Structure 1
Amino acid sequence: MKNKKIWVFLIFSALILILARYFNLGSYLFEEKGINTLKNIINENYILAAGLYIVFTAAACVLLALPGLTFAVAAGILFGPWAGSILCLAGTTLGAVLSFAAGRYFLKDAVKPMIEKNKLLKKVIFTDKPENEIILLMITRLLPVFPFNLQNFAYGITDISIVKYTMATFIFMIPGVLLFTLATSGIINETERADLFFIVLIIAAVMVLLSVYVKRIYKKINSPKEEAYEK
């Protein structure tokens, strides 16, 4: 039964990749000609273009080992700073949830040995304290020290609920998505460059401060003796 689940996922993934290859979907985000084509689609049918972006981003999160910032950069180029941020957040959140579900319901036995080989990832992701779950998600989303795709699959084999994971992922990815999408838009948009870069600097500073603060909370939760000593 366990092997059947893996085969179902692999067959489904293969079909998606075949269709993506047949329709050359990758070119829409990673080749100049494809990007120009998608820009034309945006001008003619904005909703269709936005839907294509979300679908491709979600699928790529599950099937392709691409850095998370790839999708934010593409969104910033195609849709601008604010609409791009919203669409990127929608696509990456959907992709993260799909990866989580795949890890939990189809690939648990295949993913777990891979995660356990990475001592640092195992130490950070796996926790027997419920209060750590949100804190860990906040740390890894604000300052992703591990690949975006691997994180998503890894969380799928933990005990965190899919509802808590989805909500926390959506909220804690907002700063990172805004950071890269606005930065990309600022690079290609001279008229709004100064304003966008100013906002990017503020977001980056807030992310660093939040990460340091949350890491301290995490250490205190896991070091009660140290906490008592500090008090």
Structure 2
Amino acid sequence: MTQKIMRIMFLLLFILFTFLFYYTKAYTYLNSDTISFVRTYLITNFGLIIPVMFILILYLFFNIFGFPTMYFSILLGYLYGVSFGFIIAWAGMLSGIIFSFLLSRYLFRELFVRKFGKKEITKQLEEHLEKRHFSTIILTRLFFVIPYNIQNFVYGLTSVKFSIYIIGTAIGIIPITLLNVYLGQLLFQGNLLNAGVTKIFGIISLILFIIIIFYILKKLIHIKKNNKQLQ
């Protein structure tokens, strides 16, 4: 229930922010000169404080409550470039994912068992992990068949070893993290619209979006059928 409330609050804040952004005409300040000034100011005055904040607060918070973190990775790529930005984004994502895993396995196991324990996705993951534990983790991270926020908690309910989970996850999240950071750098360079990777990313994003929509619809239909059977 708390997670649903947080998501609703996040959505409402996003809608409010979008409304104010256009109502106050704040978008007029969103030009290359202003963005470059902000970037220089942040790096000059804050240095490494911003990466630490991303890692310890934003990534952890957003992973726990199932919010997307790709925007932070893009921003880090914009601020610090591919090399340093990738290291920060990768470490931040990995920290949040590991923390979610520990929550579901140790601190709030009973809560997550009630939420995910009897779901088909948990049983299927357990079956695959028994046969190919390491490759299963890498593949589920590479391909978004299962949303990241669900994976983070469900893996904590399985029998997978913590060390294998960390290594597999650390490898599996590299491509998407690198892509997001690279997009951030392209934004800074002003080459995003001219880059060929944009078209590729757009196609991938569209495919992933369609997959997620079908997945959600499938789950909703399944829930509806179960409710009818209970009635």
The AA in structure 2 aligned to 1:181 is: V
Check 1:193–1:85 CA distance in 2 against 1; reply closer, same or farther (3 A cut): farther
Distance change >3 Å, CA 157–CA 68, structure 1 → 2: same
Can you list the C-alpha shifts for 1:98-154, whole angstroms capped at 9, x where unaligned?
1111111012111123224542x2243222754422122112110122222221111
Supply the distance in 1 between the matched residues of 2:178 and 2:102 (Cα, whole angstroms).
Answer: 25
Letter in 1 for 2:157: I
Flag the 1:78–1:113 CA change in 2: closer, same or farther, 3 A: same
| Map 1:58-69 → 2, pairs under 5 A | 58-69=59-70
CA distance in 2, matches of 1:41, 1:53: 14
Question: Counterpart amino acid of 1:76?
Answer: G
Asked if the contact 1:141–1:173 (Cα under 8 Å) also holds between the matched residues in 2, the reply is yes
Alignment of 1:149-188 (within 5 A): 149-188=149-188
Other structure's SS at 1:89 match: helix
Aligned to 1:4: none
Deviations 1:42-68 (A, max 9, x none): 222322222112112332244332124
Q: Please list every run of 5 or more consecutive structure 2 residues that lacks an aligned counterpart in the other structure.
A: 3-16, 30-34, 205-231
Deviation, structure 1 residue 94? 0.7
AA at the equivalent of 2:122: K
The answer on whether the counterparts of 2:104 and 2:157 sit within 8 Å (CA) in structure 1 is yes
Aligned to 2:208: none
Please give the residue correspondences for 1:118-157 in structure 2 after superposition, counting only pairs within 5 Å: 118-119=119-120, 121-127=121-127, 129-157=129-157
Q: Secondary structure of the residue that 2:100 maps to in structure 1?
A: helix
127 and 68 in structure 1: CA distance in 2 versus 1, 3 angstrom threshold: farther
Letter in 2 for 1:69: M
TM-score, normalization by structure 1:
0.62
Q: Which residues in structure 2 correspond to 1:67-216 (within 5 Å)?
A: 67-116=68-117, 118-119=119-120, 121-127=121-127, 129-190=129-190, 197=197
Q: 1:41/1:101 Cα in 2 relative to 1: closer, same or farther (>3 Å)? A: same
Determine if the alignment matches structure 1 residue 40 to structure 2 residue 20: no
- Seen in structure 2, the aligned counterparts of structure 1 residues 103 and 194 have a Cα distance that, compared at 3 Å, is same
| Segment drifting more, 175-184 vs 38-47 | 38-47
8 Å Cα contact 2:128/2:136 also seen in 1: no
Deviates more, 1:106-115 or 1:122-131: 122-131
- 1:3-14 correspondence runs (5 A): none
Percent identity over paired residues: 22
For 2:8, the equivalent position in structure 1 comes to: none
1:38 shift after superposition: 7.9
Letter in 1 for 2:155: Y
Q: Number of aligned pairs?
A: 173
Deviation at 1:166, TM superposition (A): 0.9
Q: How well do the aligned residues superpose, as a CA RMSD in angstroms?
A: 3.5
TM-score (norm 2): 0.62
Question: 2-side partners of 1:38 and 1:123: how far apart?
Answer: 46
Q: Determine if contact 1:82/1:182 at 8 Å carries over to the other structure.
A: no
